[in-house]
Amino acid sequence: MKLFKVLIVLSFVFVSTWQVQSHPSWGIVVDENGCIYFADVMHNGDGTLWRLDPTTNELEAVFTNFHAHHIYLHSPNEIIAGIAKWRSGEIEGEGHNYLFKYDTQLKKLDTLLFTDDWDEYHGQVFSMSKNLKNVYFAMNKQIHTKPLDGSVKPLLDRKFERICTLASDTSGNLYISDANYKQGTLFKWNETQGLVELANNLIEQNPKHPIFEEKRFQLFYGIAFSKYNNPLITECAGRTIKEISNKGSSLIRYTSKKNWTPNGVYYYKDRYYIMETGYDSQHLGPRIIVTDSNFKVLKTLEINFNSKKVK
């Protein structure tokens, strides 16, 4: 098992530049004061948790060297974040994996879970039960579950092909995206129904102007929820946000402009907040697109991360 982990680490180091470019953060939320928080793996070392006040355009790096892909709101002011920080220079190094809770009002960070063993918990693709007692995470093509004070075990016997994202809703459903199964599939799992294939063919096979031409980089990014509480899924092949109904039909709700793709989206008070990244010979963004409840663009927040100013 250790040899397998070493090979994974070496493979990660070899392709790290491409992975960072093709696998950006998708976590974006808005707290009850209307402030936008978003994760960003491209700036300040291993990454940053940013706070953007849209009324003043004030940008603050809440945490740096903060390698989070996914964040979500557990309550109006409580952010849950999973961190996977790679360790370098150690043959059997696996990295530091954290589960954090951050109170945006009190500006207090609590560590819910920490481990160096990614078989126990890995912080990149994760979600939690609504009572914050169990964490779900993806490793070795399986979904695992771990009580914060207990031992890890497989949630399902099934091995997926390429798990991209996990997300939980307030009804206890866990959503799982698989980029390589049936041309892109969104699954739903709960304790009553078990695992359901909710929608297939969600990644366009011959897209026009994809961010990356190589198929292995044409992925799902975030899963969020619409004003109707339907899952929204972002993907970088067609550069779209799709809304999935309970019956499994999909509708394209938003398409990014050429050279850009949506990573994450969040609904708050009749507005959608879309985080986009781009690539045009160099990395672009991230930037925030604000739309109305029908995804009509209202404004684009272009960010200069050096000066911390918003246009």
Residue 130, pLDDT score: 86
Residue 255, pLDDT score: 98
186 alpha carbon, distance to own chain's centre: 15
Contact residues for 211 (Cβ-Cβ < 8 A; gap 6+)? 22, 217, 236, 239, 259, 260, 261, 278, 279
**CA 36 – CA 59 distance, rounded (Å):** 10
**CA 125 – CA 168 distance, rounded (Å):** 12
- Helical residues (DSSP H) of the chain, grouped into ranges: 2-14, 16-22
The fraction of the chain above a pLDDT of 90, given in percent, is: 73
Taking alpha carbons only, the member of 125, 20, 22, 136 closest to residue 82 is 125
Placement of tokens 């050279």 in the chain:
259
Placement of tokens 């991209």 in the chain:
164
Q: Rounded to whole angstroms, what are the CA distances from 54 to 129, 209, 286, 297, 305?
A: 30, 31, 15, 15, 15
**CA 201 – CA 182 distance, rounded (Å):** 6
**CA 254 – CA 235 distance, rounded (Å):** 11
Q: Residues in the chain with pLDDT < 50?
A: 1-20, 91-93
Residue 308, pLDDT score: 85
**CA 252 – CA 286 distance, rounded (Å):** 22
Taking alpha carbons only, the member of 285, 69, 96, 38 closest to residue 164 is 69
Residue 95, pLDDT score: 78
Burial group, residue 43, by CB count within 10 angstroms (0-12, 13-18, 19+): middle
**CA 290 – CA 97 distance, rounded (Å):** 32
Instruction: Please tell me the pTM assigned to this model.
Output: 0.91
Q: Rounded to whole angstroms, what are the CA distances from 110 to 100, 105, 106, 107?
A: 6, 13, 11, 10
> Which one-letter amino acid corresponds to residue 146?
K
Assign 18 to helix, strand or coil. helix
Q: Rounded to whole angstroms, what are the CA distances from 40 to 8, 25, 48, 71, 287?
A: 23, 5, 5, 11, 10
DSSP single-letter state for residue 21: H
Contact residues for 113 (Cβ-Cβ < 8 A; gap 6+)? 97, 98, 99, 121, 135, 146, 148
